[in-house]
Amino acid sequence: MNRFENGLLQYLSKKQLKKIQSVKIGIGGAGGIGSNIVIILARCGFKNFEMLDFDLIEESNLNRQQFFIGDIGTIKIDSLKNFLIKINPDINITAHLVKWELDKANLYFKDCDYIVEAFDQAAYKRSFVEYYQSKAKAVVSGNGMSGLKKKKPMTIKKVDNIYMVGDLSTDSAEGHPPLAPRITACAAMMAEIILDLVLN
């Protein structure tokens, strides 16, 4: 039990923390949703993660992703590891520095209880969610968290064991900019779903 976990026990029971720490979470994508949700989940006490992303950090990521100017040009997941162990030094992260492809999907997230879809392209999102839906207790997916004008309310749409979080309509590919407030709000809502599923 480290100091972070001792602190968390002011808000959660030992039984609750034990339950949280028995869970493994897979996250596909370490960008806007991925980098935010893993940090939020880590602050809730989750400590077992498997992440997949091959991207390097760019200037255009810094407006919403949990990286800093000094990280530009480095691997997103490596930077996140450095961030996360400052929150909880006992955190475990399995990293896959690859591009996700459907024909290799069986190589990843094999023993994850919950899986987060945090990619940015709609076709990848669909394939990813459909593939892992039958392999995890639940899949939580970000779906529509961009935009500056004509915004619709953020919502949760549940189909089978898939939880889609977002406004379900604004598409970043159609010129809606991805900005920190909605991206962060979406990641936080997604994290809360996982926390609720684990504890309730």
Partner 1 sequence: MIIQLNGTQKKLTQASTLAGIITTFTKNPEHVIAEVNGHITKKASWAKTQVKDGDVIELVSFVGGG
Q: Which residues bind partner 1 (CB under 8 A)?
A: 29, 31-34, 117-123, 125-126, 129-130, 133-134, 141-146, 157, 159-160, 162, 164, 166, 168-174, 176, 178, 183
- Tell me whether residue 93 or residue 118 sits nearer to partner 1 (CB atom): 118
- Tell me whether residue 108 or residue 131 sits nearer to partner 1 (CB atom): 131
- Tell me whether residue 86 or residue 157 sits nearer to partner 1 (CB atom): 157
Residue 29 Cβ vs partner 1, minimum distance, rounded to whole Å? 6
- Tell me whether residue 69 or residue 173 sits nearer to partner 1 (CB atom): 173
For residue 158, list its beta bridge partners.
Answer: 163
Q: For residues 178 and 61, give the distance between their C-alpha atoms in angstroms, rounded to a whole number.
A: 10
Is the distance from CB of 81 to CB of 105 less than 8 angstroms? Answer: no
Residue 121 Cβ vs partner 1, minimum distance, rounded to whole Å? 6
DSSP sequence for 71-98 = GTTSBHHHHHHHHHHHH-TT-EEEEE-S
Distances (CA, A) of 58 to 17, 49, 90, 142: 35, 24, 28, 21
